Amino acid sequence: MKRRELIDMIEEGENIQVEFKRKFSSYEKIAKEIIAFANTKGGYILFGVDDNKDIIGVESEKEEAALITETAAKYCEPPIEVTIEYMEFRNKEIVIAGIAESDKKPHRLQDFQSELDINSAIVNVRVNDKSIPASKEMIRIMRAQAGNLPLKKYYIGDNEKAVFNFLSKNETITVKQLSQLINISERRASRTLVKMVRAHLLIIHTKDNGEEFFSNMS
């Protein structure tokens, strides 16, 4: 990273691809941040920078880097590759952790389970300037996209037609709304909407508070 890029990044503040950290806090907290970036669009964590953009610097860049690398390798499942850069800024040392968007989504906090359990796995995603827990719908979509799982014998049924009809009069729909609209369980409503996203018929959106809704592609 060039010095000018770092300056611009700090000036612009935190966003979907940039997070500031005063210092390494705990393995679990930093793992959740790394996981969120890998599960979304990738990005950078700047260690030694406060939330208000103040340059704090780190005490030992090599120790900080070792903690970050260990976290990505041992506390994320599957492990995540992180690139580490050092840069001196205003006589303070900043550690820059770069995380690429992963093709092995969804990553989760290490739970030592052989397979991802959608009901208990801790999976984070990035929304605006926050890392938040992913919904079951988002996890299912990431898993299907990463595995390139095809939709077998998918066709537009009554449930899908009800979704389209609802969206012709409303901008968005939620799992709960679909459940109530056609009197089916939220689990079944969730699966219907997830399949429509996988079929490129809908887009899933996540709010800052983790709530999700769906809309038409256009």
Q: Where are the domains of the chain?
A: 3-134, 141-216
State the pLDDT at residue 192: 93
- Label residue 29 by pLDDT band (50, 70, 90): very high
Torsions phi, psi of 76, nearest 5?
-115, 140
State the pLDDT at residue 150: 65
Which residues, 6+ apart, have CB-to-CB distance to 147 below 8 Å? none
- Label residue 120 by pLDDT band (50, 70, 90): very high
Calpha distance 187→195 (Å, rounded)? 12
The answer, yes or no, to whether residue 103 has pLDDT greater than 80, is yes
Calpha distance 96→22 (Å, rounded)? 12
State the pLDDT at residue 148: 67
The answer, yes or no, to whether residue 95 has pLDDT greater than 90, is yes
Q: What is the CATH number of domain 141-216?
A: 1.10.10.10
Helices first, then strands: H and E counts in the chain: 7, 10
| Token pair for 89 | 């800024």
Closest CA to 198 of 158, 163, 162, 146: 146
- Label residue 198 by pLDDT band (50, 70, 90): confident
Across the chain, which distance is largest between two alpha carbons, in Å? 64
The answer, yes or no, to whether residue 194 has pLDDT greater than 80, is yes
- Torsion over CA of 205, 207, 212 and 214, rounded to 10 degrees? -30
Q: What percent of the chain has pLDDT over 90?
A: 78
- Label residue 190 by pLDDT band (50, 70, 90): very high
Query: 3-134: which CATH topology?
Result: 3.30.950
Strand-pair category, 43-47 with 212-216:
unpaired
- Label residue 156 by pLDDT band (50, 70, 90): confident
Determine the average pLDDT of the residues in 153-163.
Answer: 87
The answer, yes or no, to whether residue 149 has pLDDT greater than 80, is no
State the pLDDT at residue 13: 94
Q: What percent of the chain has pLDDT over 70?
A: 97
Q: How many residues does the chain have?
A: 218
Please, which residues bridge with residue 195 across strands? Answer: none
Give yes or no on whether 3-134 and 141-216 have one common fold. Answer: no
State the pLDDT at residue 147: 67
Determine the average pLDDT of the residues in 1-23.
Answer: 93
